[in-house]
């Protein structure tokens, strides 16, 4: 332990230590809340002295309040230990970039890192020391509203994105708190906060790698999750937190609970009293308790009863103090909430340009029947639908972002084409249960037919994804279909722009539309990015990192599923050789890795440098990619492997590499991937990690649905 920290620790009373292990929100701070003492403090039986030595605060929205709170705290805390201010800065602080699921479609961890750096730069001026980000939960079920915060269903890609975000934030002096440890992304039936029950194999092979990558990238904090995992709520799960996170992976940073999760141990039914909660949480090595006060009220008794040791408490406090020191809080408690007079980077042209680039790179073109890109010569443009004339497209969990600072689609189009007449009409409301008004639908059809082209905005409002927004039905609301049909009939030159925080079921729309561009929730520069994409100033090059199901009943669905004993998809006999549905396809509508551009690519001449590999060797897989369209375009070339026979059943495909190539019309390029033994390792039947000899298939293609392969044997 550093001397400065041990000195501080030695001077603290137990009560003061427990306050360091407690996080509350601004409503508890008398310096910024008039009702703190009579309201929140008295409700939780807290004394003024508890608040005086509090360790950290969450969710204060502006730097002036943070400054005020810190000033008050530094005056009253006997130990002069600064507060840490934490917030959910998930996809941008003030300049907001697309939601993580959208960012992931860029297949660019570098871009993700740049955006995280930008967010951190703005955090530094906004009173945020720690961001509760990234959420690195692995996901498969679009019914779960928080898929928007994830980077998708692929293990390899998630790990890259996890590390990129952690490095991005922390290289700019903001601590990253990864979440939610562990397996929060697998709630039964997609219902938020629901039970997670899974084998250790699945946990380790799919769910843990991204957390592990983030820990290896030196994330300073980890948040435990709300869910129970195999019967034990994560915050109480000693095997998980102390066992895997700390002992196995060597994480020595700060573990914080999720909001009120200590109390929820009682609701879960694994604790009877506050004392039980504090005991279980401390035993699992949670350091900070978020928004409840079981440590403050119960640890003293647990120590007196010999159930918890002072060393356990001291270790937790030491980790919190070390974090404060790493962030430089002891040198300058005000470093992220200082009053700045100079030029600010917040919403600067440079930051906006990056957010715009990110929104362009994350859009995924799902359908295009020779409609896009639109000509810039068009005179009359209708923008119809609930998301065309609003800054709300900024997205859920949008930090300190303001819809008023956001470029709406209407403004984006008008700025790009100042001489065009742009007419907007809402047509229907975006809410799930909105009813279509026949009169409005008629108006929309009429407007559509009176314009050269139509941009029809459909999808989910931002608030319909994120925490607590699980859905049973992933179809578009019927009112939106009515609007679509009327508008499409009124003018076939209609491009649907889809705003969504999750994969939706687009089976009917996909067949009937002329073009379908998925822009997710695109952030502050959404409108300008979409305009650039629609009118060919930018090329859609995003590729899905989460399957779009053909029907809600397919969920959970993911491309890297295990092989079965009856895998044949062409035999629809009920007891035949296919694990299939009797009322629809097995395949998703749009698979992992899918996305179109404004040109096309052909893959030929797949080759392997050898048909066998000895331990320690590598072999090279190559393919020729040709731009067969008539525009320059960028393709994301994807490498998948399949281990044909193992001591345990293996996935039918796993992404192991990707690269982007930009090619002129007619241009071709040989793209090569090095395959190493490391890439062939898996959790064997005896739960050790390693390879097994045998046949491997190599696929290189446009998406996870690619079928051509070559094989080699590992000797």
Q: For ligand NOJ, give the closer residue by CB, 259 or 559.
A: 259
Q: For ligand NOJ, give the closer residue by CB, 111 or 235.
A: 235
Q: For ligand NOJ, give the closer residue by CB, 222 or 623.
A: 222
- The H or E element spanning position 411 is helix 409-416
Q: What is the C-alpha to C-alpha distance for residues 266 and 280, in angstroms, rounded to an integer?
A: 11
Q: For ligand NOJ, give the closer residue by CB, 323 or 619.
A: 323
* 153-182 binders of ligand NOJ (CB under 6 A): 179
To ligand NOJ, the closest distance from the beta carbon of 97 in angstroms equals 18
Contact 128, 93 (CB under 8 A): yes
To ligand NOJ, the closest distance from the beta carbon of 179 in angstroms equals 5
404 C-beta neighbours (distance < 10 Å), count? 7
Query: Where are any strands of DSSP class E within 205-327?
Result: 221-224, 228-229, 232-233, 254-256, 289-290
Q: Is 687 left (phi over 0), alpha (psi -120 to 50) or beta?
A: left
Distance of CA 482 to the CA centre of its chain: 32
To ligand NOJ, the closest distance from the beta carbon of 151 in angstroms equals 15
632 class by beta-carbon count within 10 Å (0-12 exposed, 13-18 middle, 19+ buried): middle
- The reply to whether 91 sits near ligand NOJ by the rule CB under 6 A is no
Q: What is the C-alpha to C-alpha distance for residues 314 and 9, in angstroms, rounded to an integer?
A: 7
- The reply to whether 129 sits near ligand NOJ by the rule CB under 6 A is no
Contact 111, 362 (CB under 8 A): no
Active site residue 258: yes
To ligand NOJ, the closest distance from the beta carbon of 94 in angstroms equals 18
Which entry of 154, 258, 287, 464 is annotated as an active-site residue? 258
- The reply to whether 137 sits near ligand NOJ by the rule CB under 6 A is no
To ligand NOJ, the closest distance from the beta carbon of 214 in angstroms equals 14
How many residues interact with ligand NOJ (rule CB under 6 A)? 7
Q: For ligand NOJ, give the closer residue by CB, 398 or 626.
A: 398
β-pairing verdict for 710-714 and 612-613: parallel
- The reply to whether 132 sits near ligand NOJ by the rule CB under 6 A is yes
Would you give the binding string for ligand NOJ spanning residues 441-480, x where CB under 6 A is met? Answer: --------------------------x-------------
To ligand NOJ, the closest distance from the beta carbon of 250 in angstroms equals 24
**For residue 241, what is the DSSP state?**
I
Q: Which of 77, 205, 258, 460 binds ligand NOJ (CB under 6 A)?
A: 258
To ligand NOJ, the closest distance from the beta carbon of 396 in angstroms equals 12
Q: For ligand NOJ, give the closer residue by CB, 15 or 25.
A: 25
Q: What is the C-alpha to C-alpha distance for residues 57 and 87, in angstroms, rounded to an integer?
A: 9
To ligand NOJ, the closest distance from the beta carbon of 413 in angstroms equals 35
To ligand NOJ, the closest distance from the beta carbon of 258 in angstroms equals 5
- The reply to whether 400 sits near ligand NOJ by the rule CB under 6 A is no
Would you give the binding string for ligand NOJ spanning residues 31-60, x where CB under 6 A is met? Answer: ---------------------------x--
179: helix, strand or coil: strand
Instruction: To the nearest 10°, report the CA torsion of 57, 63, 66, 68.
Output: -170
- The reply to whether 88 sits near ligand NOJ by the rule CB under 6 A is yes
Contact 496, 516 (CB under 8 A): yes
Task: Tell me how far CA of residue 710 lies from CA of 601, 640, 644, in angstroms.
Answer: 20, 11, 12
Q: Record the tokens describing residue 409, joined without a space.
A: 């689609």
Using Cβ positions, the residue closest to ligand NOJ within the complex turns out to be 132
Contact 181, 133 (CB under 8 A): no
Contact 712, 612 (CB under 8 A): yes
- CA 105, 500, 549, 185 torsion: positive or negative? positive
Q: For ligand NOJ, give the closer residue by CB, 145 or 540.
A: 145
Contact 277, 294 (CB under 8 A): yes
The residues, any chain, with a CB within 8 Å of residue 297's CB and separated by 6 or more, are 45, 274, 278
Q: For ligand NOJ, give the closer residue by CB, 255 or 409.
A: 255
- The reply to whether 259 sits near ligand NOJ by the rule CB under 6 A is yes
Q: What is the C-alpha to C-alpha distance for residues 216 and 167, in angstroms, rounded to an integer?
A: 10
Q: What is the C-alpha to C-alpha distance for residues 53 and 13, in angstroms, rounded to an integer?
A: 10
Would you give the binding string for ligand NOJ spanning residues 551-580, x where CB under 6 A is met? Answer: ------------------------------
Among all residues, which ones are annotated catalytic?
Answer: 258
- The residues that touch ligand NOJ, with contacts defined as CB under 6 A, are 58, 88, 132, 179, 258-259, 467
């Amino acid at each position: 332990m550093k001397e400065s920290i041990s000195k501080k620790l030695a001077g603290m009373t137990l009560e003061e230590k427990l306050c360091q292990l407690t996080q509350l929100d601004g409503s508890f701070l008398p310096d910024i809340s008039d009702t703190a003492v009579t309201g929140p403090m008295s409700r939780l039986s807290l004394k003024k002295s508890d608040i005086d030595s509090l360790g950290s605060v969450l969710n204060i929205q502006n730097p002036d309040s943070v400054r005020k709170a810190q000033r008050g705290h530094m005056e009253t805390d006997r130990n002069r230990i600064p507060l840490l201010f934490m917030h959910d800065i998930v996809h941008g602080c003030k300049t907001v970039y697309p939601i993580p699921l959208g960012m992931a479609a860029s297949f660019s961890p570098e871009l993700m890192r740049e955006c995280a750096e930008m967010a951190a730069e703005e955090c530094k001026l906004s009173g945020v020391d720690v961001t509760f980000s990234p959420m690195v939960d692995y996901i498969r079920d679009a019914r779960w509203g928080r898929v928007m915060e994830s980077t998708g269903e692929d293990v390899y890609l998630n790990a890259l994105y996890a590390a990129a975000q952690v490095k991005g934030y922390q290289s700019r002096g903001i601590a990253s708190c990864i979440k939610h440890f562990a397996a929060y992304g697998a709630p039964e039936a997609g219902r938020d906060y629901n039970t997670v029950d899974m084998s250790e194999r699945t946990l380790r092979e799919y769910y843990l790698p991204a957390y592990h990558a983030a820990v290896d990238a030196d994330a300073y904090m980890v948040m435990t999750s709300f869910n129970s995992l195999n019967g034990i709520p994560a915050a109480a799960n000693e095997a998980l937190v102390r066992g895997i996170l700390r002992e196995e992976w060597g994480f020595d940073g700060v573990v914080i609970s999720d909001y009120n999760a200590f109390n929820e141990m009682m609701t879960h039914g694994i604790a009877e009293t506050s004392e039980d909660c504090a005991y279980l949480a401390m035993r699992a090595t949670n350091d900070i308790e978020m928004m409840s006060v079981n440590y403050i009220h119960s640890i003293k008794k647990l120590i007196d009863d010999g159930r918890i040791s002072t060393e356990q408490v001291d270790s937790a406090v030491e980790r919190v103090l070390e974090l404060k020191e790493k962030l430089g809080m002891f040198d300058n408690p005000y470093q992220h909430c200082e009053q700045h007079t100079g030029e600010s980077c917040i919403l600067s042209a440079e930051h906006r340009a990056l957010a715009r680039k990110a929104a362009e790179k994350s859009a995924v073109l799902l359908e295009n029947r020779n409609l896009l890109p639109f000509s810039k010569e068009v005179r009359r443009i209708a923008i119809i639908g609930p998301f065309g004339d609003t800054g709300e497209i900024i997205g859920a969990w949008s930090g300190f972002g303001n819809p008023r600072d956001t470029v709406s689609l209407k403004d984006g189009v008008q700025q790009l084409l100042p001489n065009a007449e742009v007419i907007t009409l809402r047509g229907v409301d975006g809410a799930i249960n909105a009813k279509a008004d026949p009169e409005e639908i008629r108006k929309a059809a009429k407007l559509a037919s009176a314009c050269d082209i139509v941009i029809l905005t459909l999808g989910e409002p931002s608030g319909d994804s994120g925490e607590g927004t699980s859905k049973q039905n992933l179809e578009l609301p019927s009112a939106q279909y009515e609007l679509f049909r009327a508008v499409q009939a009124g003018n076939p030159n209609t491009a649907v722009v889809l705003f969504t925080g999750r994969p939706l079921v687009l089976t009917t729309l996909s067949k009937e539309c002329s073009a379908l561009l998925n822009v997710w929730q695109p952030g502050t520069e959404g409108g300008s990015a979409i305009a650039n994409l629609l009118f060919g100033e930018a090329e859609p090059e995003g590729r899905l990192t989460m399957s779009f199901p053909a029907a809600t009943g397919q969920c959970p669905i993911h491309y890297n599923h295990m092989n079965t004993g009856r895998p044949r998809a062409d035999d629809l006999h009920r007891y035949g050789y296919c694990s299939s549905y009797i009322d629809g396809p097995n395949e998703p509508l749009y698979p992992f890795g899918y996305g179109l551009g404004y040109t096309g690519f052909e893959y030929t001449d797949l080759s392997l440098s050898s048909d066998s590999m000895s331990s320690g060797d590598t072999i090279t897989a190559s393919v020729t990619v040709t731009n067969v369209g008539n525009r320059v375009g960028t393709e994301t070339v994807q490498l998948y492997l399949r281990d044909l026979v193992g001591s345990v059943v293996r996935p039918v495909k796993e992404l192991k590499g990707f690269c982007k190539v930009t090619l002129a019309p007619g241009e071709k390029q040989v793209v090569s991937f090095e395959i190493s033994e490391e890439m062939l390792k898996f959790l064997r039947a005896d739960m050790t990690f390693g390879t097994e000899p045998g046949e491997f298939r190599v696929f290189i293609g446009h998406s996870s649905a690619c079928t051509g392969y070559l094989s080699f044997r590992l000797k």
